Amino acid sequence: MKKFLLTLITAVTVFGLIACSNETTSDKEKENSGDGTTIRVVYKDETNSNPVSVKYFDELEKALEKDKDIKVNFELVDLPQGNYAEKLTLLLYGGDIPDMIYFQGGDQSLTQQGLLEDLTPYIEESEYLKDALSPYNQKRLENYPYLLWIKPLSAKTPVIRKDWFEQMETSEKLMADPTVENYHAFFKELVEKKPGGSTPNYAVTVAGDLEEINFTFNMAFGISQSWLEKSDGTYEYYKVSKNEKEKIAYYQKLYEDGLLDPQFVTKQWDTKEKAFYDGEAAVVSGTAGKVIDIYNGKMKQVNGDEAELVVLPPAKGIDQGFGVTDVTKESRGVAISSQSEHKELVFDILDYLASPEGQKLDRLGFEGEHYNVKDGEIEVTEKYYGEWYARFWEPTELTFDQPLKTPLLSGPATESQEMTIEYFKEDNSFILPEEYVANWDAMENLYREYTTDIITGKRPIDDFDKFVDAWMEAGGTQITEYANKTIK
């Protein structure tokens, strides 16, 4: 009976949502300003209060009209402060569905209700996007054709300022043989020697959970896929494996020795980065490529050129690498509302952003600020390195109408990308059926609760076994059975 009522409520909600969203789109059609079509966009960090965002979309309007004779007026939809995925879900379930939507979670429920457009036919007929896709983008779109996110591999790589790195006696040994033991010795020397005079206070910090440094350490502990094959040929989820238990014991030791930020649970992105620039933390992890580029630019701006970043290698043990790449779907990306009256136009805009002209704005920023053209060559500025990032696409093959005089990424950023590609490995994860999603969320909460308590010393490491039992009871048994039927 409960299941029937839930299905009925969901059906009524979806019907009302679609009706409401159609009405909203119709109302917005009447609000077109000038002679361009209004395209409503909701996109994390791109808000009306951000002058760079406003200028970017103004410049995009001009470029579209100049290069493609497409006349649009972008309307940025602001969300209340807080968790983006949660606030976006509230907006969409309230019936306000913009034409172009950036998701960072929460998209699957909308997809299952038919509210996101299947992008497959659009991409097949595209002028630029079909050639901009990397192999992992193509696989993700085959599995889940509703989100588009053309970016380099998003592994997070650890970095440290060069002037501190060179003062450590353990640096050379770490680079030559980055075992978990050598990482511990390196972290310990940083805290004991304090190359900043009175800092660092701790060796490494993260923003809220341990996913960032998992990229460095997972594979060393044999966590080389989401589902690990056991000796009997069956699979178990890595978070309930003996490999994970050994890794959590290692993190517990880092915490106990004062090497892991004692406030790691409450750290946010901004406070993590501030701790890094201020020298409270010696090592942070950032997404390979542009994020490392921004970290490098800001670190040099605050502490001088000698503080240029050094990229540290992934820890080595049973395996080595910066984690595995999930190809089930894009974990984030841009979607088109199936209720939009401008679906083709929205896709044309996305396709334009993959063109040489569109990439010039998206990748280079504003002429005179982030780059200049001298003697027919493009030269990026210091402001570019420290501030600019592509709002949309970063295809591997990049062509502009003029040659580049200066590289788009600094040395450390380029190295981080190259190391990520070097250690690429495909995951064996799969899209979880909707019937298991609620259980999965509860199981993830159990994981965070137990592992945080173990790492911070509130629980002994043997309580990991209690966590495994609780995880299985919360739905792990059924999901593990499903995994063993699904994984080929």
Among 220, 177, 386, 196, residue whose Cα is nearest residue 294: 386
The two tokens of residue 126 are 């595209």
Question: Is 286 within the bounds of a domain?
Answer: yes
**Tens of pLDDT along the chain (488 residues)?**
333 333 333 433 443 443 444 333 334 443 444 579 999 999 999 999 999 999 999 999 999 999 999 999 999 999 998 889 999 999 999 999 999 999 998 999 899 899 999 999 999 999 999 999 999 999 999 999 999 999 988 899 999 999 999 999 999 999 999 999 999 999 999 999 999 999 999 999 999 889 999 999 999 999 999 999 999 999 999 999 999 999 999 999 999 999 999 999 999 999 999 999 999 999 999 999 989 999 999 999 999 999 999 999 999 999 999 999 889 999 999 999 999 999 999 999 999 999 999 999 999 999 999 999 999 999 999 888 878 999 999 998 887 888 899 888 899 999 999 999 899 899 999 988 889 988 999 999 999 999 999 999 999 999 999 999 999 999 999 999 999 999 97
User: What is residue 116's predicted lDDT score, i.e. its pLDDT?
Assistant: 97
Residues 126 and 203 in one domain: no
244 and 265, same domain (yes or no): yes
3-state secondary structure of 260: strand
One domain, residues 124 and 235? no
Same domain, 108 and 167: no
Rounded distance between C-alpha atoms, residue 136 and residue 476, angstroms:
28
Instruction: Let me know if residue 454 belongs to a domain.
Output: no
Q: Specify whether 124 is located in the same domain as 258.
A: no
Domain's final residue, options 307, 324, 341: 324
Please say which residue of 341, 375, 400 terminates a domain: 400
What CATH number has the domain bearing residue 380? 3.40.190.10
When divided into structural domains, the chain yields a total of 2
Q: How many CB atoms lie within 10 A of CB 457?
A: 11
DSSP classification of residue 77: P
Q: Is residue 414 part of a domain?
A: no
φ and ψ of 163, to 5 deg = -65, -35
End of a domain among 297, 324, 351? 324
Using only the alpha carbons of the chain, give its radius of gyration: 24
Question: β-strand 371-374 against 235-237: which pairing, if any?
Answer: unpaired
Q: What is the pTM of this model?
A: 0.77
Classify residue 211: in a domain, yes or no: yes
Residues 115 and 230 in one domain: no
Contact 298, 386 (CB under 8 A): yes
**Is position 419 within any domain?**
no
Q: Which domain holds residue 62?
A: 2-151+329-400
CA distances from 469 to 178, 240, 443, 446 (A): 34, 9, 11, 11
If asked whether residues 145 and 164 sit together in one domain, one would say no
Instruction: Verify that 307 and 258 share a domain, yes or no.
Output: yes
- The verdict on residue 429 lying in a domain is no
Tokens in use for 196? Answer: 């900043």
**Looking at residue 475, what DSSP letter applies?**
I
Distance CA 379, CA 401 (A): 13
Question: For residue range 211-248, what is the model confidence (pLDDT) as tens digits?
Answer: 999 999 999 999 999 999 999 999 999 999 999 999 99
Is 234 among the domain residues?
Answer: yes
Please state, in angstroms and rounded to a whole number, the distance separating the CA atoms of residues 164 and 161. 6
d(CA 30, CA 22): 13
Asked whether residue 476 is domain-assigned, the answer is: no
Three-class SS state of 324: coil
CA distances from 487 to 108, 218, 319, 406 (A): 21, 21, 21, 45
